Amino acid sequence: LASSSHLSLPQTSALELDREHLIHPVSSWRAHEKRGATLLQSGKGAWLRDTEGHELLDAFAGLWCVNAGYGQESVVQAATEQMRKLPYATGYFHFGSEPAARLAAKLVDLAPPSLQHVYFTLSGSDAVEAAVRLIAQYNHARGQTQRRHFISLERGYHGSSFFGAGLTALPAFHRGFGLPLPEQHYIASPYAYRSAVGSDPLAIISASVAELRATVQQIGQDKVAAFFCEPVQGSGGVIVPPEGWLKAMRQACRELGILFVADEVITGFGRTGPMFACEAEGVDPDMMTMAKGLTSGYVPMGAMLMSDEIYQTIADGAPAGVPIGHGTTYSAHPVSAAVGLEVIRLYEEGGLLANGQAMAPHFARVLANLADHPLVGEARQRGLLGALELVSNKQTKARFDPALGLADRVFATGYRNGLVFRSFGDNILGFAPALCFTAEEFELMAARLRKTLDDVLDFADVRRATA
Ligand code: PLP
């Protein structure tokens, strides 16, 4: 395509334009050029339709974000009303808007009691970046600028801002980006299926606490700023820690005098059962990041919540009248805030949170019933967040040879069977159905998923590779 005049030609398909001009997030650019995009056109409830007319049951809520399901009219109405009334209000110069103030108060009301102040962001990555920058500001304010080191979990995901991608412990986010930085450190994730200490919950918890302590001592206790973790690791392969793990890690951070930051970008807003995963164990973090379910993906927005102690220390530490230089044009965007308020109303008064909790056993059964499939090494789940880990040998837990290209083939087979889920490179299938899923939709998901795994096992090379 030589000139931009083609943009106005109706015969130029969106697929061609996409291939030619659009850089997709976290994708192999060359593979994308070859394969091209799948264009999604519309959605209703848990269902998606693509531009070729395929009807798909979305068992991944978009990108674990459309917790309220597609096509919620009241959300559309809240957005259009706010857009019509006032599409934009800056947060700079002491301006603000009513929806943003109300949403901040609502989040403080819903979040663990330790969290009293809200900074709105555009995404989860932006929320993580805000947390990191304001932790630096906090340590500056209390005269501890040597606290520059951060600890996170192996297989953790904390977005793709520069510093956040370094907290993320996935190779693709580091390779060629000059990451991790020397002040970024990782400890083993509480990955029962593949843990070096076995699958006993208490052993996993004490190993994590011991490794955190040892890592802090090794760096120097007065040099560590914070420990970041997801209450259930998402993009690292839906790794569900044993009950009590989060509370133990929080307590260890308190004893070590380092901040505990819960990254609830995926786990927030009913994904694992309660409104926030921290709630299940009575965990009160120093900071919390969230996004995704906050607006159910209808418009972009994230948030970073902090304790009153951190807030007051930063506020007191800043010279009178001098701005604290962190902020963006679209922080606390009124349209996003109006959407957030309505989405949360649907979770609470609309009964979606309760439906998600009631449906979790159905979801658990869908996964557990597949645990005996020849391809499945482990089924794991909490609330409406779950995974099937595929292995070539159930006894040795050996992964399939990457040369088989299984991840893409499982995804494509699922798609052909009318089911959308996440297929990670290491053959972990991730699931995050919307909170509006019905029992019938879970039955359909079970049938389509079993057929997908059976179809995949029918590939001659996969059957040969399966013990
Ligand atoms: N933190 C966690 C735990 C996430 O899962 C994600 C995204 O998946 C992020 C941060 C980054 O959020 P975003 O993609 O909105 O920037």
The band of 438, judged by pLDDT with boundaries at 50, 70 and 90, is very high
At residue 364, does pLDDT exceed 60?
Answer: yes
Asked whether 266 lines ligand 1 (CB < 6 A), one says yes
pTM here is 0.97
Centre of ligand 1 from the C-alpha of residue 168, in Å: 10
At residue 6, does pLDDT exceed 90?
Answer: no
Asked whether 158 lines ligand 1 (CB < 6 A), one says yes
For the chain, percent of residues with pLDDT exceeding 90: 97
Mean pLDDT of 259-288: 98
Check residue 9 and give its pLDDT: 57
Specify the higher pLDDT residue, 118 or 6: 118
At residue 206, does pLDDT exceed 50?
Answer: yes
Token pair recorded at residue 338:
């109006």
Instruction: Work out whether the CA dihedral 219, 220, 224, 229 comes out positive or negative.
Output: positive
Asked whether 99 lines ligand 1 (CB < 6 A), one says no
Q: Which domains does the chain have, with CATH numbers?
A: 38-71+352-465 (3.90.1150.10), 74-348 (3.40.640.10)
Mean pLDDT of 29-34: 95
At residue 312, does pLDDT exceed 60?
Answer: yes
Residues 402-422: tens digit of each pLDDT: 999 999 999 999 999 999 999
The band of 2, judged by pLDDT with boundaries at 50, 70 and 90, is very low
Check residue 1 and give its pLDDT: 41
Check residue 166 and give its pLDDT: 98
Report the chain's terminal Cα–Cα distance, integer Å.
Answer: 49
Residues 208-259: tens digit of each pLDDT: 999 999 999 999 999 999 999 999 999 999 999 999 999 999 999 999 999 9
Centre of ligand 1 from the C-alpha of residue 255, in Å: 28
Residues 67-100: tens digit of each pLDDT: 999 999 999 999 999 999 999 999 999 999 999 9
When the pLDDT of each residue in the chain is averaged and rounded to a whole number, the result is 96
Q: Whose CA is nearest to atom 13 of ligand 1?
A: 124
At residue 51, does pLDDT exceed 90?
Answer: yes
Mean pLDDT of 121-138: 98
Nearest C-alpha neighbor of 263 from the set 243, 242, 249? 249
Asked whether 430 lines ligand 1 (CB < 6 A), one says no
Centre of ligand 1 from the C-alpha of residue 124, in Å: 4
Check residue 234 and give its pLDDT: 98
Q: Which atom of ligand 1 is nearest to the CA of 123?
A: 15
Residue 17 exposed, middle or buried by CB count within 10 Å (0-12, 13-18, 19+): middle
Check residue 3 and give its pLDDT: 46
Centre of ligand 1 from the C-alpha of residue 275, in Å: 17
Asked whether 124 lines ligand 1 (CB < 6 A), one says yes
Q: Which atom of ligand 1 is nearest to the CA of 266?
A: 5
ipTM exceeding 0.90, yes/no: yes
Residues 6+ apart with CB under 8 A from 122: 300, 301, 302, 328, 330, 331, 333
Asked whether 350 lines ligand 1 (CB < 6 A), one says no
For the chain, percent of residues with pLDDT exceeding 70: 98
Q: Whose CA is nearest to atom 7 of ligand 1?
A: 159
Asked whether 61 lines ligand 1 (CB < 6 A), one says no
Do the beta carbons of residue 205 and residue 248 sit within 8 Å?
A: yes
- Residue with the two structure tokens 């947060």: 91
Q: Which atom of ligand 1 is nearest to the CA of 65?
A: 8
The band of 10, judged by pLDDT with boundaries at 50, 70 and 90, is low
Type of residue at 256: L
Asked whether 262 lines ligand 1 (CB < 6 A), one says no
Check residue 336 and give its pLDDT: 98
Q: Which atom of ligand 1 is nearest to the CA of 164?
A: 10
To test the pocket of ligand 1, the residue of 125, 152, 167, 328 to mutate (highest count of ligand atoms within 8 Å of its CB) is: 125
Centre of ligand 1 from the C-alpha of residue 157, in Å: 7
CA 358 to the chain's CA centroid: 22
At residue 452, does pLDDT exceed 80?
Answer: yes
Check residue 12 and give its pLDDT: 76
Q: Read out DSSP for 98-129? A: HHHHHHHHHHHHHS-TTEEEEEEESSHHHHHH
